[in-house]
Amino acid sequence: MFSLTLLLALSAASLAAAAPHPAHDRDRDHDHDHTAPRALSSQWFHPDNHPAHALFRRQTNSTAPTPTQFPAVGSPAWAAAYPQGTPDSNAMPQAWKDALAAAVQAGKIPTIAPSHQSSPSADPTYGSLNPNGPQVCSATYQCVIPGDTEVWNAPPGVIGISFDDGPLPTSDKLYAFLAANHVRATHFYIGENILENWKEFNAAFANGDDIAVHTWTHPYMTTLSNADVVAQLGWTLQLIYNSTGGHLAKFWRPPYGDADTRVVAIAKEVFGLTTVIWNQDTNDWSLGEAGGTNPTAIATNFKKWLTGSKSPGLIVLEHELSTGSVQAFIDAFPLMQQNNWTLRSVAALDGASASYQNAQDSPSQPNLLPLTAGGLDASLALTSSAPAATSASASASLGANAASAGVPAASASGINNQAGGKKNAARAPRAPAAALALSAAGVLIGLFCAA
């Protein structure tokens, strides 16, 4: 087992100030997590022996620059440090390339080829390989990877609250509702959308919600090369880190639920990310589209899920993509309360107060996972289990915390051979665009160097 330490050279695009992450302890008399406002007021720490140090150098009181020394979130200088369009993996930080190479050399990344699509919206295929077999184990085909690298279900009686594809102008109403009702949620953000809608990003973070990764441009991740997978995840992680005062995201959700053993391993081994899927799908992304769902259908499904079995708990795929998708959650909220569900941010399904890979200070470290050969010993991460049964239209559903839900882990052969038609956002593929070059003057975002 090789030892790998990677140090980040933070630049003028890095924000060093961050607020303490609130404990969000649940009040005994309430059935949901409370949120507390946050502001960028102090450093977000991780000690030198913490695994987060291998991705980003710890910010200390003596060395951390003040917020005024860095471009403000939303400023032209802030936005200019990141790719415009699809990231060019050739131009990404060398240290990310080195971390990937180390993980591959250590045998931690499966050697399967990227998947193929017959059309831009078709389910990925793997040639002669079985997508439900242990070599591929594609989430699109409802195959659950054994171990602790995926989350498909919430613990019994719990609804994991999360929203995809933000931040967007339509997010404003959702954030106001969540704050007014003291509901904490996880937002799986698209990197490009953060650049375009930074006010909404700031609002969600200030409200105490959890920020997670939904890639930079929302591609089918299994169709990408190893390096392109790293670029999609790395730049989104870096933008979140630099825009929240140093919070290192702990979770990511693959667009369209498109993940397999290779992609899941890259996310975990290079960046320490746990993959989150879902076990029920509102299909709210298709509201207003020809042949798409409608509010009545979403309400009917919510009623079925919320009045049905509480084991396993629910992770429902929802979006902040449109006014209709936001309203669908607001309309379902009273039913969640009436049926005595516990609402918990997806990033906190394990019951831990810390939903990031690093912490405010040494005593409150959320993770103690040693980095080895560009990867993690994820023995403390959330465990996965077979997802709850879903309809054919929900074939890409993502799954559960076996330890909390008490559900045995599924075999790598999968639980359903039916190909999934589920898409978690109606987004046309983006044309590739060259990433902005990193300037020699020091706009070095997320660089790692072997020590």
Q: Is the peptide bond before 169 cis (omega within 30 degrees of 0)?
A: no
Of these residues, 164, 210, 260, 284, which one is catalytic? Answer: 164
The length of the chain in residues reads 451
CB atoms within 10 A of CB 394: 24
Residue type, 190: I
Distance CA 179, CA 183 (A): 6
List Cα–Cα distances, 225 to 90, 114, 219, 386, in angstroms: 12, 6, 12, 28
List Cα–Cα distances, 26 to 33, 91, 151, 337, in angstroms: 5, 44, 22, 15
Give the residue from 139, 135, 387, 417 showing the smallest Cα distance to 254: 139
Distance CA 107, CA 93 (A): 22
SS3 label, residue 319: strand
Quickly tell me which residue has 């690298």 as its tokens.
Answer: 149
Residue type, 156: P
Residues 267/408/379/352 CA torsion (nearest 10 deg): 90
What is the CA 325 to chain-centroid distance, rounded?
19
Confirm whether 165 is a catalytic residue: no
SS3 label, residue 316: strand
Confirm whether 164 is a catalytic residue: yes
The set of residues, in sequence order, having a beta carbon less than 8 Å from that of 111 and lying 6+ positions away, is 262
Quickly tell me which residue has 């077979």 as its tokens.
Answer: 386
Strand 314-317 relative to strand 158-164: parallel, antiparallel, unpaired?
parallel
Q: Strand ranges (DSSP E) for 38-134?
A: 42-43
Distance CA 19, CA 253 (A): 25
Active site residues: 164, 319
